Amino acid sequence: MRRGSDDIAVVGAGMVGAAAAALLARAAPGTPIVVLDADAPPHWSPDDEPGLRVSALSAASQRVLAACGAWDEIAAARISPYASMRVWDGEVPAGGPGAIRFDAADIAEPVLGHIVENELVRLALRNALLQLDNVRLLDGARLESLVLDGERAELGVADGRRLQARLVIGADGAASPSRALAGLEVRGHDYEQRAVVCNLRCQLHHGETAWQRFLPSGPIALLPLADGRVSIVWSTTPEHAQRLLEMDEESFRAAVAEASDGCLGEVIAAGPRAAFPLRMRHAPVYTRARYALVGDAAHTVHPLAGQGVNLGFLDAAALAQVVAAALAAGRDPGDPALLRRYERWRKPENLLSMRAFDGINSLFSNANPGLGAVRRAGLTLVDRLAPLKGVFMRRAMGLEGDLPATARGVA
Ligand SMILES: Cc1cc2nc3c(=O)[nH]c(=O)nc-3n(C[C@H](O)[C@H](O)[C@H](O)COP(=O)(O)OP(=O)(O)OC[C@H]3O[C@@H](n4cnc5c(N)ncnc54)[C@H](O)[C@@H]3O)c2cc1C
C-alpha cells in the first residue's frame, strides 16, 4: 500500500477545486499539494463543437483565473465577451416597460463578462497545475474514506492508495462524498425545475448580448457563443423539460423561438440537448478541523443569475488567501480556528446571493397575475434608476463586495 503525505489534499479537480489548488500552490510554493479526481482528465479541442456546459464568468472570476495562470490560455482559445444583458418579463416585449437592459458602458466597463465552456476552463486550469512542481494530480482517483482526527487527515482512494494531508479541501461537487465523510450536512430544497441546455443557431446575431426572458414555469436564457451561436439554459418544470428533450428538432426550434419571444428571430439549427435538475443547497457549516468546503460542495444556486461557479471561485480565492497567510506564518493549515475565518468570510456572502436568486425565482417563476404587476414595476424601476442598476451590475460582475485579493487583481 502506497502512502503519500502532502500538506494539502484537494478532493475534486472541477473548476473550483483546480482553481483552489493553483492559487494555493502559487501563493505557497514550497507546500506539497495533491489533487485527486474520480474522473478522467478534461478534454477540449478547438476542432470540437462548443460544449453543452458553459458559464457566464464575471470580471472577478477572470482575475482569479488569471492568478491561477489559466486565463491567457482560455482567452486565446474560445470565449465570447458580452457587453449587454436584456432581462424581461414573459408578458411584455423585450424593449418595453417591465424590461431591463444592462450595458457595461453604463458603468464604464468594456464587458459585463465572458461566456466560456466549462471543459475549456478545466483544461486550462489543469495545464496551469501541470506547470507547478509542488502539485501532484491523481486522475481516476475516487475518494472512498476520510479520517479527520489527529495530526494528519487520512484519505483512502478506491484503488487502495492511502494519502495523508494536514488540510483536506472538499471541492467534489453538489453530491460531495467528502462532505458526507466529514460529517457535514447540507440543507435546501428542490426547485422542481430542470434546466434544458442546447446550442442553437438563430436568424439574428446575438450582438454580444445575453438574453433572459422570465416565463411562469422558469426563465429561458440565450447566452452568446464565439461562433455566433447561442447556448440556451431553459429552466422549466420536469415534465416540460422531458417533453423538450423528446421533441423532434423542428418542434424544439419552434418552442425555443416562441419561449424567447423571437428576440433573435427564427431558430435555424439546434444541436444535442441535455437537462440538469435544479436544487438549492447550502451547507450550514463549511469547515471542521482539517477540512473545508468550496464551490458546489458548499452551495448550489439557481442558474438564473449565472453565478454558481463565480461564487465558487471566490470561495477558492478566499480559502487560498487565508491558508497561504497561515502557512507563511508557520501555522497548521488544518487549524479549525483558521478555517472558521474562511467560513465567516464566505458564508454570509454566499447566503446573500442565494437568497436573492431564490427570491427572484419565486417572484418570476409564478403565474399569479398580482405578482406580474409587481415584477414589471420592479424591473421598470431598476431600469430607470441608474445608481441601483449600477449596484446590481457591479455586484454580479464581482466588482463590489468583500472580495479576496486575487479577485480584486491585487495579488
Ligand atoms: C444548467 C446550468 C447552468 C449554469 N450556468 C452557470 C453560469 O452561467 N455561471 C456560473 O457561475 N455558474 C453556472 N452554473 C453552475 C456551475 O456549473 C457550477 O457551480 C460549477 O460547475 C461547480 O463547480 P465545482 O468545481 O464546485 O463542482 P463540479 O463541477 O461538480 O466538480 C466536482 C469534481 O469532483 C469530482 N469528484 C466527485 N466525487 C469525487 C470523489 N469521491 N473523489 C474524487 N473526486 C470526486 C468530480 O469528478 C468533479 O470533477 C450552472 C449550472 C447549471 C446546472
Q: Is 39 in the pocket of ligand 1 (CB under 6 A)?
A: yes
Q: What is the CA radius of gyration of the chain?
A: 21
- 50 in a structural domain: yes
Q: Is 113 in the pocket of ligand 1 (CB under 6 A)?
A: no
Per mean pLDDT, which of 148-152, 178-182, 217-221 is the most reliable?
178-182
Q: Is 42 in the pocket of ligand 1 (CB under 6 A)?
A: no
- Probe target for ligand 1 pocket from 196, 296, 397, with the most ligand atoms within 8 Å of CB: 296
Query: Residue 332 maps to which CATH number?
Result: 3.50.50.60
Domain that holds residue 38: 3-79+116-188+280-365
What letter represents residue 125's amino acid? Answer: L
CB of 48 within 8 A of CB of 176? Answer: no
169 CA from centroid of ligand 1 (Å): 15
123 CA from centroid of ligand 1 (Å): 14
CA distance 361 to 45: 35
- 157 in a structural domain: yes
Number of compact structural domains in the chain? 1
- 247 in a structural domain: no
- 335 in a structural domain: yes
- 246 in a structural domain: no
Q: Is 15 in the pocket of ligand 1 (CB under 6 A)?
A: yes
Which cell is 291 given? 477540512
Please determine, for residue 107, whether its predicted confidence score (pLDDT) is greater than 70.
yes
pLDDT computed for residue 51 by the predictor: 95
Q: Is 117 in the pocket of ligand 1 (CB under 6 A)?
A: no
401 band by pLDDT with thresholds 50, 70 and 90: confident
Helix and strand totals (H; E) in the chain: 12, 19
296 CA from centroid of ligand 1 (Å): 6
Please determine, for residue 165, whether its predicted confidence score (pLDDT) is greater than 80.
yes
- 342 in a structural domain: yes
Q: Which residues pair with 273 in a beta bridge?
A: 198
- pLDDT (tens digit per residue) in 248-291: 999 999 999 999 999 999 999 999 999 999 999 999 999 999 99
**Model pTM?**
0.95
277 CA from centroid of ligand 1 (Å): 13
CB of 11 within 8 A of CB of 33? Answer: no
Q: Is 303 in the pocket of ligand 1 (CB under 6 A)?
A: yes
206 CA from centroid of ligand 1 (Å): 26
CA distance 86 to 389: 13
CA distance 358 to 75: 32
Decide: helix, strand or coil at residue 201. Answer: strand
99 CA from centroid of ligand 1 (Å): 31
Decide: helix, strand or coil at residue 66. Answer: helix
pLDDT computed for residue 89 by the predictor: 83
Could you tell me where the beta strands, DSSP code E, fall in 263-398?
267-282, 287-288, 291-293, 299-300
What percent of the chain has a predicted confidence (pLDDT) above 70? Answer: 91
Give 152's DSSP letter: S
CA 172, 174, 180, 186 dihedral sign is positive
CA distance 300 to 156: 26
Q: Which residues pair with 9 in a beta bridge?
A: 34, 168
Burial of 299 (0-12, 13-18, 19+ CB in 10 A): buried
Q: Is 37 in the pocket of ligand 1 (CB under 6 A)?
A: yes
Average pLDDT over residues 89-103: 73
- 211 in a structural domain: no
Q: Give the least confident one: 110-119, 185-194, 296-305, 374-383.
A: 374-383
Q: Is 90 in the pocket of ligand 1 (CB under 6 A)?
A: no
Which cell is 75 given? 482567452
Ramachandran quadrant class, 30 (left: phi over 0; alpha: psi -120 to 50; beta: rest) = alpha
- 382 in a structural domain: no
CB of 56 within 8 A of CB of 210? Answer: yes
- Nearest 5°: the CA angle 356, 237, 16 is 50
**CB-side exposure of 346: number of CA atoms within 13 Å?**
31
Residue nearest to atom 37 of ligand 1 (CA): 172
